[in-house]
Amino acid sequence: MTVLHLADAREAADLAAFLSRLVHYDRAAAVRLQAHGTTLAVFGRPPSFEVLAIRTARLAKPYENGLEVTVDVTVSAGELLESVDESAATAAVPGAVTGPPWAGVLPPRGGWRQEPGLPAPDAVRAMVAAAVTEFRSRTEELAPERRTRAELDRVGREIWSRPIGDTGLPVRAAHAAQSLGFLRPVPPAAPSAAQQVPSGESPLALYSSGAWLRLRTPFGSVAVRRAGLGALDISVR
C-alpha cells in the first residue's frame, strides 16, 4: 500500500479538514492526487460551486519505502480521509476509483500570470457575505408556489455569476473558497499556510493561464474556467 508521509501533523490536519469539507458536500466525493517529489496536490470538485478546489501539502517523502516516484490517481475522498493519521502525519492512498469527468480536465501546471484588480481579503469576504444574505433574502421572499428548484437555481446563477470587481472571477469562486475554509484569515503562527504564499505577496491573489482563473489563498486555491469546464482549451492530464 502506498503511504504518503506528510511533513508534519499540521499538514495532515489541514488535509483532513479539506477532505472533511468535500465529503460534507458530497459523501461520494472523489479526489485526484498528484504527488511529485515532496509536494502533494489534491483536486476536488464540490457540487453546485462549479469550481475545482486544490489543496497542496508538503511531503516528507513520497512513499513509505522512500522511492522517488510520482503518484497520480483518483480515489474516494472519504476513504482517503479515514486513512489520515494526524499524529503520525501519514495518509494511506486508497484503491483507485473510476474518476468523474472533471478529474481528467485539470488546470495547467505552468504559465500562470498574476492578474490585477482583486480586492483585499476582507473586501472579498464581505462580498461573499453580502451575496449569501441577498440569496437568502430573495429566496425567502418568493411565494411558495414559485420556490422551485429551477427558480432557486436561477437566482443563484444571477448572484454567484457576478464578477468580483473587474477581474472576471465570479463570486461563486470566492464563495467556494470561503465554504472550503480557504478564505479564513491567516493566524500569526501558521507556518504551513505561510509557506504557500511567496514572500512579499498578498495572502490573496488571482492568476490566469489560458481559459483558467485561479484564486490563490494561503490555505488552498480555487480554479474556474472563464467559459465553464466544458469549453475548449482544456488541459487533459
Average pLDDT over residues 131-141: 94
Say what the pLDDT of residue 196 is. Answer: 56
Joined grid coordinates for residue 216: 490563490
Q: For 17-71, how does the pLDDT look when each residue is reduced to its tens digit (9 = 90+)? A: 999 999 999 999 999 999 988 899 999 999 888 899 999 999 998 766 666 667 8
This prediction has a pTM of: 0.85
Amino acid in position 199: S
Burial 133-153 (b: 16+ CB within 10 A, else e): eebeeeeeeeeeeeeeeeeee
DSSP 235: -
Joined grid coordinates for residue 52: 475545482
Say what the pLDDT of residue 99 is. Answer: 80
Domain segments of the chain: what residues?
3-104, 113-225
Q: Is the pLDDT of residue 13 over 80?
A: yes
At 48, phi and psi to the nearest 5?
Answer: 80, -25
Say what the pLDDT of residue 49 is. Answer: 86
Q: Using CA atoms, how far apart are residues 57 and 106, in angstroms rounded to an integer? A: 18
Question: If one looks up domain 3-104 in CATH, what number appears?
Answer: 3.10.150
Q: For 76-108, how does the pLDDT look when each residue is reduced to its tens digit (9 = 90+)? A: 999 999 999 999 999 999 999 998 999 998 999
Residues in the chain: 237
Residues 77 and 23: beta-carbon distance below 8 Å: yes
